[in-house]
Structure 1
Amino acid sequence: MRKIKIDIVADVVCPWCYIGYARLQRAIKSLESELTIELYWYPFELNPTIAPGGEPLLQYLVRQYQTSEQACRELQEHVTQLGFEVGIRFDFDDDMAMYNTRKAHQLVQWAMQHRCQQALIERLFHAYFTLHLPIDDEEILLSMATEVGLDRQLCEQVLKEPSWSGVVANIETQWLQAGIQVVPAMIIDEQHLLNGAQSEEVWVKQLREIAAQPHHSRAH
């Protein structure tokens, strides 16, 4: 069976990344008899300068996009409906905050070595968008990491060692240099780029077309 690798550049506080991932998962499920698809997650911090404890989400969005509170609320309603269509419960309210995600990304990169990135990413998305947990909090992050089978003591080291923060920063720089400026960005077999929360239908069509092409794997 043809194997396809998809690198996903994303942030866990990006609703479009969550929706895009859910749509991709539906496409993968519908193609499971035709293709084997492996996902690898890479960091892209939307808010690297936010201080510990976060910032009220609505306030952040108004400032970041130079728009009105009403426009932000309407966008959140739209996102909520799109999420509902793919089984995501977005639960936006005025108490929700935007958080720094550097430490979350440190654990996600560590999880790659242990083949549990996907389980951790799903917990992070759900924790932030549905449960409103502060995902810059080390105890929250460690709890999720141990739930997916990672060793707590090793994860504590990953969170505290500056070198792991540097790993995330270096990966982000590499993607920026490669031209990735918006997320989600999904790179198929290191050759084909799909930006944004593409529909399930687009994914199925693209993956079938790519699977039909001769595959030349690149050396890492």
Structure 2
Amino acid sequence: MKGVGFLKEIIFIFDYICPYCYLMLPEIERLYAEHMIKVNWIPTEIYPETPLEGTDLKTFLGVRKAEKAHKLIREQAKSKNLVFYLPKLIYNTRRARLLTAYAVNKVPIEEILHAFYNSVFIYNENIGAWQVLQKICMQLGLSYEDFFRQLEQQKLDFIIKGWEEILNRYPIEVVPTIACGENILAEGVCSYEELVKMINE
């Protein structure tokens, strides 16, 4: 859709560890493919306190809640033709967010999103681990060494700061959150039809 004037812009606020954001990915991609909608993708961290090695999902959520969520998400993923395997751990996404900041002007955002979501929900990899980030760099055709160098030199901080300024506009309680202008349109999973209705109101 290059060169096309967009009718409206929405903000999609997400975290790579959130399966509900993963479920919404096809809907958002369809939205900007079929409508003149620009999507501003803003990654956040819903569990910034998570250790880099990850934390056990069932311990974190509770066994019953984790199993209930797994069943629901698995059914929704199947209906969307998404491969989904629930990871045993909740991963820290801080480094993934930094790699996104590095990659965002070099690689189409869709490729970045799919690389991370595949890593988490298909291969159950810890995207807080350096070796996994190196692997994702290779998949995206990016220089891991240059990423690490820019990280050390704090050259990515201004992108993170810009994202934080956008996030601070909204009282975000859950992800995904979809916003337009100053208003939150939706929180959590919603259907494509609901999305279309929201953006046309």
The TM-score range, normalised by the shorter chain, is 0.7 to 0.9
Contact map agreement 2:86 2:121 (CA 8 A) in 1: yes
Shift of 1:170: 6.5
**Are 1:193 and 2:197 counterparts?**
no
Answering whether residue 22 of structure 2 is matched by residue 22 of structure 1, we say no
Deviations 1:106-150 (A, max 9, x none): 111222222422211111111101110111011211221232233
Q: Offset of 1:54 from its aligned partner?
A: 0.8
Amino acid corresponding to residue 127 of structure 1 in structure 2: S
Tell me what 1:203 maps to. 195
Supply the distance in 2 between the matched residues of 1:156 and 1:61 (Cα, whole angstroms). Answer: 33
- Note if 1:92 corresponds to 2:86: yes
| Separation of aligned partners in 1, 2:139 and 2:194 | 33
Residue of structure 2 equivalent to 1:156? 148
C-alpha displacement of 1:71 = 3.0
- Structure 2, unaligned stretches of length 5 or more? none
Q: In the alignment, residue 199 of structure 1 is paired with which amino acid?
A: S
**Structure 1: tracts of 5 or more residues without a match:** 63-68, 211-220
- Written as runs of structure 1 = structure 2, the 5 A alignment for 1:114-125 is 114-125=106-117
User: How far off its partner does 1:192 sit?
Assistant: 4.6
> TM-score w.r.t. structure 2 length?
0.84
Give the secondary-structure state (helix, strand or coil) at the position aligned to 2:156.
helix
Is this contact kept in 2: 1:20–1:197, CA < 8 A? yes
**What is the aligned length?**
196
Q: State the match for 2:70 in structure 1.
A: 76
CA distance 1:158–1:180, shift in 2 (3 Å):
farther
Partner Cα separation in structure 2 for residue 38 and residue 151 of structure 1: 28
Q: Secondary structure at the match of 1:92?
A: coil
Q: Which one has the largest radius of gyration?
A: 1
Q: What fraction of aligned residue pairs are identical, expressed as a percent?
A: 20
SS for the counterpart of 2:168 is helix
Gap change, CA 1:161 and 1:99, over 3 Å in 2? farther
Q: 1:154-191, CA deviations, whole angstroms, 9 ceiling, x for partnerless residues?
A: 21224444563685367336513532232111223x35
TM-score by length of 1: 0.77
Query: What secondary structure, in the 3-state scheme, does the structure 1 residue paired with 2:128 have?
Result: coil
The one of 15, 22, 35 aligned to 1:11 = 15
Matched residue of 2:67: which SS?
helix
Question: Are the equivalent residues in 2 in contact too, given 1:103–1:159 (CA < 8 A)?
Answer: no
